[in-house]
Amino acid sequence: MSQKQRRAPKQTPGAARPASGNASTSSSSTVASNASESESGWFGQMVSNEPTQQGVKDGVSRPDTGVRTGTPGAAIDESGAEIALYTTFESETPESTLKSGTAVKVVDKREGWFKIEYRDKEASTSGWIESDYFSNQPSLGMDEELDSKVFDDYTWEKFEGDQTTEDLAANQVEQGALGDCFFIASMNAIGSANPDFLEESIRYDAETETYSVRFFEGEYGSPEEVWIDVDAYLPTTKDGSTAYAASANDGSKWGPIVEKAYAKFKGGYQVLGEGGTGSVAMAELTGNRSRSKNPSSMSEEDVIPYFQKAKEDGLAIYAGVINSTAMASVNPFSGDGKGRFKATLPKTHDWNEIQHGTVEIEHEDDGGKTAFENGKDGDKEAPLLGTQVEDGTVVYAKNSVEVTYDEEVDDASKLQVDYEAHGVVLPSKMLIGNHAYSFTDVVDGDKLQFYNPWGSYQPKAITAAEFLGYFDSLATNQVPKGKTGDGS
């Protein structure tokens, strides 16, 4: 069966980030209704492993081999100096300078020169730099708050020294400002099952200051090791923190390094931000196929024994929460006559917002739907439609609805609203919608404890009934044992 892609609310590095405005932009596939257990196939495709360039160092120029129009990267001077920016490649004097570490994309090239596009405040702009200063890097995520969809406002900074650790363990990596909870949760699940295997998947070369990270790809039954090489530059915020993955409980940056390598493996950070499935990510990390199970195929009595057995067998265990939950019908409108009837829909949590495409209004006396909306993920608002509707609007961020009818409505309280909310789908247990979790243990003999890859807002232990009601995907993976890499 297929698993739902997870593109969870993102978290601002170093601080908890509410779910508002992010979970709605999920990219999801329909969860199959097949009740039987199944295995996940191989879906990953490696991108071209082009040479990584690091700009000018000790006066040595780096060739532009492999760089073409559209190649993402950064403008880097390893001394940290500003980089001269020219109006044209024929200009004799620079027009301005560019901060070293600025994220860029090559849009044109001449011998020894690259025309690059980069972010300037809230817009994209361009200029020419000497090709020696271009460093090939995975493309950053796109700024979802801006209509222009320019790069996120992060810079590439170098983290000196070996960022791996000999004490790698579960839950050492936190999700940052990228919707890749599926990958961070998968790493944490594997670290919980066998940290030694994850540790040996990362190699550091002190001479070149680069890392090699192991993934697997290939046809069913014959996965092949793929080692992805990345340098020590990571996307950072203005305060110097890593923008995306972060270290949860030590100073090492092995998690962000693995995330960067996976971004290169899959085609860029923005690809990870579009979402994915834990079953695939775990398989690409371990080389063993994941087994997926639809929670809807389980009875309440099955749940606790299933997790206990998986834990005893040393499996990495990943699970995903539903995207939204149905709200109880409410009659929140004020107004009279034909309208404009207005309502602010109630929330069960401050982070919650209307799920796109779910608002329906019924008139109790008419006994049927009188208005509906079909907004799509990413819309800020959507019109209310219906044969009796003259005009109407749903504003998602404000949880508000306004509607005017062609004919008079005798009592506003008879207008009933049904809708779904995304954000925190079970506030009493702090379960976040369209979010991936790694499983940690059975507690108190009859409850399941999961781990939020944010590193904060950890859920309370849930019952078997709550698991069946709020989770829609489940996957396990037999992580190879020991430091030999031998599978089981």
According to the model, what pLDDT value does residue 428 have?
95
* pLDDT for 164: 83
Query: What's the token pair of residue 18?
Result: 């509410």
CA dist list (Å): 83 to 95, 101, 132, 152: 11, 10, 11, 20
Domains of the chain (ranges plus CATH)?
23-46+160-320 (no CATH), 72-136 (2.30.30.40), 325-422 (no CATH)
Tell me how far apart the alpha carbons of residues 131 and 399 are, in angstroms, rounded to a whole number. Answer: 49
The per-residue pLDDT for 57 is: 35
Euclidean distance between CA atoms 369 and 372, whole angstroms: 7
Give me the pLDDT at residue 379, please: 92
CA–chain centroid gap for 261, Å, is: 15
| Contact between 236 and 156 (Cβ < 8 Å) | yes
Residue 175: name the closest of 72, 281, 43, 265 by CA.
281
Rounded to whole angstroms, the Cα distance separating 358 from 394 reads 10
Cross-strand pairs, 363: 368, 415
Distance (Å, whole) CA 407 – CA 337: 8
Q: Can you read off the two tokens belonging to residue 56?
A: 């000018």
Report phi then psi at 300, rounded to 5: -60, -35
| 413 Cβ contact list (under 8 Å, min separation 6) | 331, 333
pLDDT at 330: 87
What letter would DSSP give residue 251?
A: S
Compute the distance between CA of residue 197 and CA of residue 488 in angstroms, rounded to an integer.
12
Query: What pLDDT was estimated at residue 142?
Result: 87
Ranges of the chain whose pLDDT falls below 70: 1-65, 166, 219-220, 249-251, 367, 482-488
Q: Rounded distance, CA 78 to CA 263, Å?
A: 23
Question: Considering only CA atoms, which of 309, 290, 201 is closest in space to residue 478?
Answer: 290
Half-sphere exposure of 184 (CA within 13 A, CB side): 35
b (16+ CB within 10 A) / e for 350-366: ebbbbbbbbbbbbbeee
Q: What angle do CA 419, 425, 427 make, to 5 degrees?
A: 120
Closest to 473 (Cα-Cα) out of 185, 178, 170, 177: 185
Q: What is the phi/psi pair of residue 266, to 5°?
A: -95, -15
Burial of 475 (0-12, 13-18, 19+ CB in 10 A): buried
CB neighbours of 123 closer than 8 A, spacing ≥ 6?
Answer: 148, 150
pTM over cut 0.75: yes
pLDDT at site 482: 58
Model pLDDT for residues 345-387, shown as the tens digit of each residue: 998 899 999 999 999 999 887 767 789 999 998 899 999 999 8
d(C-alpha 364, C-alpha 371), whole Å? 13
**pLDDT score, position 247:** 83
Give alpha helix (H) positions in 214-370: 254-266, 269-273, 278-286, 300-312
- Tokens 């107004």 identify what position? 335
| Beta pairing partners, 353 | 422
Q: How many helices (H) and strands (E) does the chain have?
A: 7, 32
For 193: left if phi > 0, alpha if psi spans -120 to 50, otherwise beta; the answer is alpha
Task: Give the burial class of 317: count Cβ atoms within 10 A of its Cβ; 0-12 exposed, 13-18 middle, 19 or more buried.
Answer: buried
Q: What SS3 class is residue 271?
A: helix
